[in-house]
Structure 1
C-alpha cells in the first residue's frame, strides 16, 4: 500500500531591515557572523564588499539597498551565504546581509500569493504564517553583480 505524501519544502525566512525573504533551505550554504566587507568608494551602494568565507572571498550584498532602500547594519546583523544558480565558475556563492537569525518554516504546496508591490529583485510575495515574505530572484542578484563587474 502506498502512503500518501503531501509535498513539503523547508523554507528559510531571512529577516531584513524592511522585509522578510523566503528561500528553500537548500539555497543557503551557511549562516556566519557579520564582518565588514572590503570595498572601494566607487562601488554601488548595494555592494558591501568582499567577505572571507572558507578560504575564499565572496561578494556581500545589501538586498534592501539593491531595491532602492537604505542599507542597515543592525546589532543583530549576520551574513547568509547563498549557493548561486547560474553555474558561473567565478561566482559560486553570494553573501547577503540579514538582520538576525533565519528561521526555518515548513512550506506546503498551498502557498498563498499576496498582491503587494515588489522590487525588480523579487519574484513574488507569499503569506507565511502571520507575515508576508518575499521570494528573491537569485539569478537577478547574480546578474546585478556581473553587470557591475563585481563577480570576481
Structure 2
C-alpha cells in the first residue's frame, strides 16, 4: 500500500470577506444562494442563523465575524459555501460559510503551495496562511469552527 501524499489536490478558493479561504474541493458540497435564513435565539453574532438546504437545515457562519471581532458582513449579495463537516455527525453533517463572490477551482501541487505565516501565532479559526501561485489565502481550522458551532447551537 502506498502511503505517499497525493501529487495534486483539487481545491477551491472561496472569497470570504476580505480574504480567500482555501479548501479541498471534496468537502465543498455546493455554492448555494442565501435564502430562508432563520435567526438562532441567543446566538453569537458570527452564527448568522440556520438556512434550509436540500432536505436539511444548516447553520450559517460568518468566518469574518468568527475570527475578527471588528469585521462586518454584507449579506445582501452573499452566497453560501455548503461544506461537509469533518466530524461524522448526524446532527450536523453540513455547515454553511458566508461567501462573497464566486469560488475558483484550482489544482495544487506541493511546489505551488507556500506557507507564509512563518510560524507566527495565528488567529483563531486559522490553520495556515498560504500563497497559491499569486493568491494569498487562509486554510481554516474546520475542526475548531465546527466545535464552536456545536457549542453555540441550542441543544
Q: What TM-score, normalized by structure 1, do the two folds share?
A: 0.88
CA contact (8 A) 2:85 2:94 kept: yes
1:62 paired with 2:66, answer no
In structure 2, the CA distance between the partners of 1:36 and 1:66, relative to structure 1 (3 Å rule), is: farther
Distance 1:71 1:141 in 2: 18
**Equivalenced residues, count:** 146
Contact 1:91 1:151 in 2 (8 A): no
Secondary structure of the structure 2 residue equivalent to 1:140: helix
User: Could you say which residue in structure 2 is the equivalent of 1:135?
Assistant: 139
- How far does residue 77 in structure 1 lie from its aligned partner after superposition? 1.2
- The gaps in structure 1 that reach 5 residues or longer are 1-5
Contact 2:47 2:60 in 1 (8 A): yes
Q: How well do the aligned residues superpose, as a CA RMSD in angstroms? A: 1.9
Look up the match of 2:109. 108
Q: List structure 1 runs of 4+ shifted beyond 3 angstroms.
A: none
Query: Aligned partners of 2:132 and 2:76: how far apart in 1?
Result: 25
Q: How does 1:24-43 map to 2 (within 5 A)?
A: 24-35=24-35, 37-40=37-40, 42-43=42-43
Alignment-derived partner of residue 125 in structure 1: 129
Q: Between 138-147 and 112-121, report the one with greater CA deviation.
A: 112-121
Using the alignment, how far apart are the partners of 2:139 and 2:154 within structure 1? Answer: 22
Alpha-carbon deviation of 1:125? 1.0
Q: Does 1:12 align with 2:2?
A: no
Q: Which 10-residue stretch deviates more, 110-119 or 79-88? A: 110-119
Whether the 8 Å contact between 2:47 and 2:61 is mirrored in structure 1 is yes
* 1:40 to 1:59, Cα distance in 2 relative to 1, 3 A: closer
Q: What are the ranges of 5 or more consecutive residues in structure 2 without an aligned counterpart?
A: 1-5
**How far does residue 151 in structure 1 lie from its aligned partner after superposition?**
6.9
Residue 41 (structure 1) shift: 5.4
